[in-house]
Structure 1
């Protein structure tokens, strides 16, 4: 009896969750790769529009996946009715067709599935709150995709701040610049704007690193590109946050630099400063009479945060297996959604916005 009990326990631990992925585009493909590499889940469904099915079949073949069902987005409710399915990853656009992203979140939770959803869940904070209330009512996990929290350097920065290595914080400065290559007008019109689509990561990090929430925000920006102007968006934005403790948060967000994916972090405290610089693509250096030349920095966000994405998926897998509680808390995601709206309001009006 003891031997059988131990064997049953071992089999239970080894049981893999069944997962479906909705949206196999730029980010969905990265998440699919990490799910496969984990070896801890069964990818059961891959969902996207008909035009993407050729690419999806190539990925299925590349990863040697077995018994995967490739279905259209119109069939997503049929997938969610499958009682063998445990969880879904939602990587579709905010206003995807025929269902927008938050509708998919609600459908999945109502069907009793755990959900990982790329940010933003919705452009309306009230809808984000509804999604988390539904997750609570159904006893399911809803994890929002704030991947930068899982970057090893940022995580170490967080640990040192919490350990008191910097003492009282004075300034957090985050720089986020990127190449404009993949951005087009169609994407911009549905993204919610630069704050909601891009700076939301930095807003989340400032609140997470500091353990505080700002009392006011001001945001300025401009667009030189005609495409950005026509889409009522900006390509360069600066956000300043004021906290009751005296801490100042500064975010610089630029879409359209010629040299690569520029991500720098500085946290200044009374005892010193923590900083994260851009990693080079290789360790190669050229030393000559002109000085020291480093190799280029990463050119895009996916390779820069590749390991963070992997750790983010591992966290979700551990959560739905009951090993951990989700670190991305509902009230944090809801507040971040509201904060993007306050900053966007400041950007549109040119005024300081007080935050309740």
Structure 2
């Protein structure tokens, strides 16, 4: 009897989960690509505004998705009423129409669906907290998309820090620069600003790696590009964080460099340093009288973190199958949401902000 019960639970966990994706833009396509390769899920709904449906149908044909339903964002409640649907990935803009991202999160949780939501869930920390409270009340998973935690190099850095290989930490330096090609004024106006839109990943990493929360923050930035000025945003920002242990955190975020997707991370401790450099697009090297020439670095974040996105999705699948506990904790996401607001306040006022 016990053996049969255990077997039936395992078989239930092995059943394919039915998943819908809301927002088939840049990141939604990446998630779709990973999900269709999984033997553990069926993609049953793709949801976006009408003008995107042509592209979506091409993706449906490309991946051979015979039973998927392509519907408008206005029909999302129809999808959520489907009792066979297990989970939803929400990849729409924060201020999407006709529903904000956080509203979609709440709709899905209230309908009894697990939710994976790209960052940020909302610009208002209190709304983020409401979403997690709703997930708790309905006993459903709400996982926020912090993909860099699942990068193999960053994960190994985290493991070595926790194993004590560096001893007491002294400084963490995270550099994140990218090409400006895909950023436009419409995006900037709805993004919430450079801290919420971009530096949020590094703020999450620095707290996760250190195991601490900062007690003060200061952020400076500037905009040389007129488009950023017109949108009341900056293209270059620097954040410094002071932690209770004495650890100092430094984050540099630039949206607009000419040479590629530059992501470098350093953690300095009393026993040594861990660092992650930019991987080249190939292993090719040219050696001659001028020295050694490496191939170019990746030009955007999708190839750089492609495997991290896949592992992030696999973790979500494991969680909703009851095979793992969600590693991206509610209190971490809620605090990170508050931290982005403190850093944004510092950027706007030019002052050091104490963090309660």
The TM tier, using the shorter chain, reads: over 0.9
- The structure-2 alpha-carbon separation of the partners of 1:288 and 1:218, relative to structure 1 and needing over 3 Å to count, comes to same
Distance across 2 between alignment mates of 1:209 and 1:276: 13
Distance across 1 between alignment mates of 2:313 and 2:291: 42
The number of aligned residues is 356
TM-score by length of 2: 0.98
Alpha carbons 2:13, 2:322 under 8 Å: kept: no
1:105-163, Cα deviation, whole Å (9 max, x unpaired): 00000000000000000000000000000000000000000000000000000000000
Distance across 2 between alignment mates of 1:342 and 1:152: 30
Cα deviation, residue 10, structure 1: 6.3
- The structure-2 alpha-carbon separation of the partners of 1:326 and 1:8, relative to structure 1 and needing over 3 Å to count, comes to closer
The gaps in structure 1 that reach 5 residues or longer are none
1:260-308, Cα deviation, whole Å (9 max, x unpaired): 0000000000000000000000000000000100000000000100000
- Match of 1:32? 32
- Match of 1:113? 113
Cα deviation, residue 54, structure 1: 1.0
Distance across 2 between alignment mates of 1:350 and 1:196: 17
Aligned alpha-carbon RMSD (Å): 1.4
- Match of 2:73? 73
- Match of 1:176? 176
1:165-193, Cα deviation, whole Å (9 max, x unpaired): 00000000000000000000000000000
- Match of 2:227? 227
Distance across 2 between alignment mates of 1:7 and 1:204: 39
Cα deviation, residue 66, structure 1: 2.2
Any runs of at least 4 consecutive aligned residues in structure 1 with deviations exceeding 3 A, and if so which? 1-11
What is the DSSP-based 3-state SS (H/G/I as helix, E as strand, rest coil) of the residue aligned with 1:38?
A: coil
- The structure-2 alpha-carbon separation of the partners of 1:271 and 1:101, relative to structure 1 and needing over 3 Å to count, comes to same
- The structure-2 alpha-carbon separation of the partners of 1:8 and 1:351, relative to structure 1 and needing over 3 Å to count, comes to closer
More displaced stretch, 186-195 vs 51-60:
51-60
Cα deviation, residue 39, structure 1: 1.7
TM-score by length of 1: 0.98
Distance across 2 between alignment mates of 1:335 and 1:288: 51
Alpha carbons 2:285, 2:292 under 8 Å: kept: yes
- The structure-2 alpha-carbon separation of the partners of 1:329 and 1:8, relative to structure 1 and needing over 3 Å to count, comes to closer
Cα deviation, residue 61, structure 1: 1.1
